[in-house]
């Protein structure tokens, strides 16, 4: 089978490798669609992400769907949860699988992901999808899970004014989640104007280019009251965290989802102290697949606007370069 392996910085190669054999608790999957995530691009351009570094060639891709090739659901399209928690450690037992001490994660830290024709994966982390799903929608359930987890941390109630700063894939999904949860107004900022157009399509009520004027605009629009909950989904240099602090109302919650490129973030201490803000840092997600499947199959979340580029496996270099340029929203490699 063909597999796309990362050998080093800017060094992806397509190789022929044997089809894997499923272990007793695993099933064989034929990969359908793989979404390229910002963290995949960090691996490709920098050799690692947020402290994790590359020590041997491996296959990227943690956002993926596949056709089930063995077992009772043979032939069905499924979404794959790339995170395998142990179920036995202190954190798993307290219901925080995202903090599992023995977590393995497909497409990160040397564990092979979905950018190969066949994958074996434990059946418990394979979610067969209803008929009305496309392979790309199946691949998007992983980033949707990140947005679902962020929404749980933010505790949105109907009528709240909410901020989503950063309108990349996770930001756009967080906008949709906030809308589904009943947010009255959703203020969205991004440095890239084309992303703000996508944000409107996803339910943003007020958009503002992140050019230094956004905090003033938001405070004006809320009669200086500020926002009930802010989700920071920009990453980059951490400036969106500062905007979140400036635009939060007193006692608000700021949920930090973005991964800053310099691995540091900062904000003005005095403003956040006077407002008594609560910061919550989102770490991946918990058991979000059943909820994600419900949201998409009942069309409460629309994944279609996020699907902007499609490539064949042979075009893997173009696909990664396209994702690195951040021109569209989500780039897919379809097998
Ligand atoms: Zn991702
Ligand atoms: Zn565990």
Domain 2-140+303-334 fold is Quinone Oxidoreductase; Chain A, domain 1 (3.90.180)
- d(CA 37, ligand 1 centre) in Å: 4
Tens digit of each residue's pLDDT (9 = 90 or more) over 118-155: 999 999 999 999 999 999 999 999 999 999 999 999 99
Tens digit of each residue's pLDDT (9 = 90 or more) over 5-45: 999 889 999 999 999 999 999 999 999 999 999 889 989 99
Ligand nearest to the CA of 100: 2
Q: What is this structure's pTM?
A: 0.95
Give residue 49's pLDDT. Answer: 65
Ligand nearest to the CA of 39: 1
Instruction: Provide the percentage of residues in the chain whose pLDDT is more than 70.
Output: 99
CATH number of 145-281: 3.40.50.720
Backbone angles phi, psi at 326, to 5 degrees: 50, 45
Tens digit of each residue's pLDDT (9 = 90 or more) over 289-313: 999 999 999 999 999 999 999 999 9
Tokens of 335: 């097998």
CA-closest candidate to residue 140, choices 6, 37, 4: 37
- Confirm if 228 and 161 have CB atoms less than 8 A apart: yes
Tens digit of each residue's pLDDT (9 = 90 or more) over 166-219: 999 999 999 999 999 999 999 999 999 999 999 999 999 999 999 999 999 999
- d(CA 225, ligand 1 centre) in Å: 34
Confidence of residue 235 (pLDDT cuts 50, 70, 90): confident
- The chain-wide mean pLDDT, for the chain, equals 95
- d(CA 78, ligand 1 centre) in Å: 17
Ligand nearest to the CA of 173: 1
- d(CA 206, ligand 2 centre) in Å: 41
> Which of the 8 DSSP states describes residue 93?
H
Taking the C-alpha atoms of residue 279 and residue 254, their distance in angstroms, rounded to an integer, is 5
Ligand nearest to the CA of 113: 1
Domain spans of the chain, in order of start: 2-140+303-334, 145-281
Tell me how far the alpha carbon of residue 309 is from its chain's centroid. Answer: 17
């Amino acid at each position: 089978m063909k597999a796309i392996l990362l050998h080093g910085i800017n060094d992806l190669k397509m190789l022929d490798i044997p089809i894997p054999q499923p272990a007793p608790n695993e099933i064989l999957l034929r990969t359908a669609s793989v979404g390229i995530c910002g963290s995949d691009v960090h691996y490709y351009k920098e050799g690692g992400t947020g402290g994790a570094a590359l020590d041997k060639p491996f296959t990227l891709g943690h956002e993926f769907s596949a056709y089930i090739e063995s077992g009772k659901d043979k032939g069905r399209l499924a979404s794959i949860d790339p995170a395998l928690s142990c179920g036995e450690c202190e954190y798993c037992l307290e219901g925080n699988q995202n903090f599992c001490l023995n977590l393995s994660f497909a497409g990160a830290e040397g564990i092979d992901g979905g950018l190969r024709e066949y994958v074996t994966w434990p059946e418990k982390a394979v979610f067969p999808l209803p008929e009305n799903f496309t392979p790309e929608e199946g691949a998007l359930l992983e980033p949707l899970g990140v947005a679902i987890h962020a929404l749980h941390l933010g505790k949105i109630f109907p009528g709240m004014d909410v901020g989503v700063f950063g309108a990349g894939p996770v930001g756009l999904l967080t906008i949709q989640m906030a809308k589904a949860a009943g947010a009255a107004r959703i203020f969205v900022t991004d440095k890239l104007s084309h992303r703000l157009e996508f944000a409107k399509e996803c339910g943003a009520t007020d958009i503002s280019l992140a050019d230094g004027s956004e905090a003033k605009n938001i405070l004006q629009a809320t009669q200086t009251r500020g926002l009930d909950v802010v989700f920071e989904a920009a990453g980059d240099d951490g400036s969106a965290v500062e905007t979140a602090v400036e635009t939060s109302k007193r006692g608000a919650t700021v949920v930090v989802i973005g991964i800053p490129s310099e691995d540091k973030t900062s904000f003005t201490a005095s403003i956040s102290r006077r407002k008594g803000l609560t910061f919550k840092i989102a770490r991946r997600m918990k058991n979000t697949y059943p909820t994600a499947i419900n949201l998409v199959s009942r069309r409460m979340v629309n994944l279609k606007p996020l699907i902007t580029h499609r490539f064949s496996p042979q075009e893997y270099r173009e696909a990664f370069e396209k994702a690195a340029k951040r021109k569209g929203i989500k780039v897919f490699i379809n097998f």
